[in-house]
Amino acid sequence: MRSAIALCFLAVFCCTADATILDISFRRVQNTKIDVESTIRQLKHIRENTQKDVELAVGKEWLRSSEKYNNYANSVLNTIRKEVEDAKARGRNAEPCYDAALNILKNSYNTTYIDAQQCREKAICSINNNLSFNDQLITTGHELIDDLDNIFPDCYKKYSRLIDIVKLHSCIIDQYEISKIGVKNLKRDASSARFTAKSASKSVNQQTTDCLNKTFSTARLEVVRSTATRCLNNV
């Protein structure tokens, strides 16, 4: 907006040739600004998709691991129940053995859920940290847009007199060329952002899978089985 207003004032005081040159420069600045805005949208899209992909992958791995854990837990309980019923049929007071095993299993479930939730939180935190480079590029893009918006107003503020028209042209061109370097660097870095985000996502997903596999390890259920066995041996 400031650039457009400044251009209007310049057009009023400049000759047709000068106004045309300024208009061409203005359009160049605006096209470059549009290019930067497009790059920012691309970077935001990469960030949002990467974060969603990680959250989805974590959710799927959680379901897979917990299902395996639950199936094994049910198998252990069914075995204990059968052994308890067999012991009861022989006149032994074995029901407390099942209750003890069940209580241990419930405590194990609670601990497992807390640990699994920590795995998820670590994954979200990790991918956010890994995407900080993307956030920095977005910030750089917004700064470049501000720089482009300020080219015409700042140059006009320095060279507003009609006799300074040549200096004004030079100022606009110089500032635009400086901004172009920043835009070129931004686009170069943004071009590798998708690959970097994908690599980060793969790494975080693997770490989370390892974390959840450890959390939902069936080894945790061995204490349930061993408690019931010791109890049944003593009744």
Q: Classify 11 as helix, strand or coil.
A: helix
Question: Nearest CA to 188 among 16, 56, 58, 39?
Answer: 39
CA–CA separation, 31 vs 45, rounded Å? 21
Provide the whole-model pTM.
Answer: 0.78
For 49-93, how does the pLDDT look when each residue is reduced to its tens digit (9 = 90+)?
A: 999 999 999 999 999 999 999 999 999 999 999 999 999 999 899
Q: 21: how many CB neighbours lie within 10 A of its CB?
A: 17
Structure-derived torsion over alpha carbons of residues 172, 155, 32, 41, reported in degrees to the nearest 10: 160
Instruction: Give the pLDDT score at 103.
Output: 94
Please answer whether residues 55 and 205 qualify as being in contact, where contact means their C-beta atoms are separated by less than 8 angstroms: no
What does the CA dihedral 214, 217, 222, 227 come to, rounded to 10 degrees?
A: 80
Question: How far is C-alpha 179 from the geometric centre of its chain's CA atoms?
Answer: 29
pLDDT tens-digit series, residues 129-138: 999 999 999 9
Which pLDDT band holds residue 163 (cuts at 50, 70, 90)? low
The DSSP 8-state label assigned to residue 188 in this structure reads: H
Please tell me the distance from the alpha carbon of residue 168 to that of residue 2, in angstroms, as a whole number. 16
The whole-angstrom separation of Cα 1 and Cα 153 is 10
What whole-number distance in Å separates Cα of residue 142 and Cα of residue 37? 8
